[in-house]
Structure formats: structure tokens, C-alpha cells
């Protein structure tokens, strides 16, 4: 299959150093808001890349559920492949592919579990079906058929038929504390604008060649 002719110009606008804030979270906040207002299907969606215990590298799509000066928070099954990788290596990279805006943001840093109280608080806000699904799936493990998965779901429904759905002990949040944040804005003729913030006691801003 030939793919060499699939290309386009990036025309959504440039990124000037003089307009960039000292704190990259200020720019991320603006770009995240822009993605939501643009009507993207998953404006908080990001790709999490991890180093597995065997040394291989994997990626998967998750939804960002919060961020502040302490870091970027997402939730998962603690027994999943990504959680096992995070427990083993303690570092990850997340990428926000806002292609419709000709933008990408890549964030790298250390990853730790959030508190059980914070995981409980978020879990309580999830839709009922999502709460049940957290009990249903033995994430990343093989299963024989879709019908087996649906049967597991139904058993979870019956288990919590007359009570609130508590957070499973194997499910909760991770926080990525950023040490490097790169902003990419597509430019015409492949002259893209790339700026990276590195943290060394304070944020240091550098323009990179495209």
C-alpha cells in the first residue's frame, strides 16, 4: 500500500516565543480549552507511552481527568499492562494529538499513584455503567469471547443491585509530574514551531528545530 502522497500543508497558525508564558501549564490550559471549544471528539484524549518490564515500549489511549501544578492525572486498572509498567519503571510520556488544530503536546516525567481518597472521590462521579465496567474487566488479560465479557458485566450488575458501586481496590489514578513539556504547532512547508520547557529548579524554555 503506497502512502507517500498523503500529505497536507499546516496552516492553522504559528507560535512565537515572545507570546509564550513562563509557566507551560498556562499554555497547556489555553490549548486544552481550544481543543474543547473546537469540538474535538476527545479533547482530553492522550496517548500514554510506557516501558514494559521486558524492555518493550507500548502506547495506549486514555482520557486526562485533571491537571494542576502537581501534575496530570488519569485513571486505570492497577493490574493492567500499563499500570504494571508504571509500577516497574515509574516514568511515562503522554501525547495530546490535537491534529485538527495542527497541534501536539508531549509531556514526560515521573508517575506515581494518587491517594486512595482522591481515587474514591473521582470514582464516585463516574456514570454507573463505567463504575460497573471497572469491576467487570480483568484488563489486559485474555478472554475467550465477547459473550464471556458481557456475562462478567452482568454478574457485576447483580453484585451491586441493591447498593452503591464502591471503587475496586485494583482501580485508581496515576499522576504524571512533568519534567519536560513540548508544544508543537504545525507550520507551512514543514517549518513547524517547536518549543520545549524543561524543569530544572524552574522552567527553562528552548526553541527546537522542526
Domain boundaries, the chain: 17-124+171-208, 126-166
- What pLDDT does residue 127 have? 96
Q: Is 190 assigned a catalytic role?
A: yes
C-alpha cell at 4: 507517500
User: Coil, strand, or helix at residue 53?
Assistant: coil
Catalytic residue of the set 141, 155, 159, 190: 190
Q: What whole-number distance in Å separates Cα of residue 59 and Cα of residue 203?
A: 27
For the segment(s) 17-124+171-208, the CATH number from 1.20.1740.10, 2.30.110.10, 3.40.30.10, 2.60.40.10 is: 2.30.110.10
**pTM, entire model:** 0.92
Average model confidence (pLDDT) across the chain: 95
Cell 510520556 identifies what position?
93
pLDDT digit string (tens) for 115-129?
999 999 999 999 999
Per-residue pLDDT, 76: 97
Q: CA torsion 24→27→29→34, rounded to 10°?
A: -150
Helix (H, G, I), strand (E, B) or coil at 180: strand
As given in the structure block, the three cell numbers for residue 138 are 480483568
Distance of CA 22 to the CA centre of its chain: 23
Amino acid at each position: 500500500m503506497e502512502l507517500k502522497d498523503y500529505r497536507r500543508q499546516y496552516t492553522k497558525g504559528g507560535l512565537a516565543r515572545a507570546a509564550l508564558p513562563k509557566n507551560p501549564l498556562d499554555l497547556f490550559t489555553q490549548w486544552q480549552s481550544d481543543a474543547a471549544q473546537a469540538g474535538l471528539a476527545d479533547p482530553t484524549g492522550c496517548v500514554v507511552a510506557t516501558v514494559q518490564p521486558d524492555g518493550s515500549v507500548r502506547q495506549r489511549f486514555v482520557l486526562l481527568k485533571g491537571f494542576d501544578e502537581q501534575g496530570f492525572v488519569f485513571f486505570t486498572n492497577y493490574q493492567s499492562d500499563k499500570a504494571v509498567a508504571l509500577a516497574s519503571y515509574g516514568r511515562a510520556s503522554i501525547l495530546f494529538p490535537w491534529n485538527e488544530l495542527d497541534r501536539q503536546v508531549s509531556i514526560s516525567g515521573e508517575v506515581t499513584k494518587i491517594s486512595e481518597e482522591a481515587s474514591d472521590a473521582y470514582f464516585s462521579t463516574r456514570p454507573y455503567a463505567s463504575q460497573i465496567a471497572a469491576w467487570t474487566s480483568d484488563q489486559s488479560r485474555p478472554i475467550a469471547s465477547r459473550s464471556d465479557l458481557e456475562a462478567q458485566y452482568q454478574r457485576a450488575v447483580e453484585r451491586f443491585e441493591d447498593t452503591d458501586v464502591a471503587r475496586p481496590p485494583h482501580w485508581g489514578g496515576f499522576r504524571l509530574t512533568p519534567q519536560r513539556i513540548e508544544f508543537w504547532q504545525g507550520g507551512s512547508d514543514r517549518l513547524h514551531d517547536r518549543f520545549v520547557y524543561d524543569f530544572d529548579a524552574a522552567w527553562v524554555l528552548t526553541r527546537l528545530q522542526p
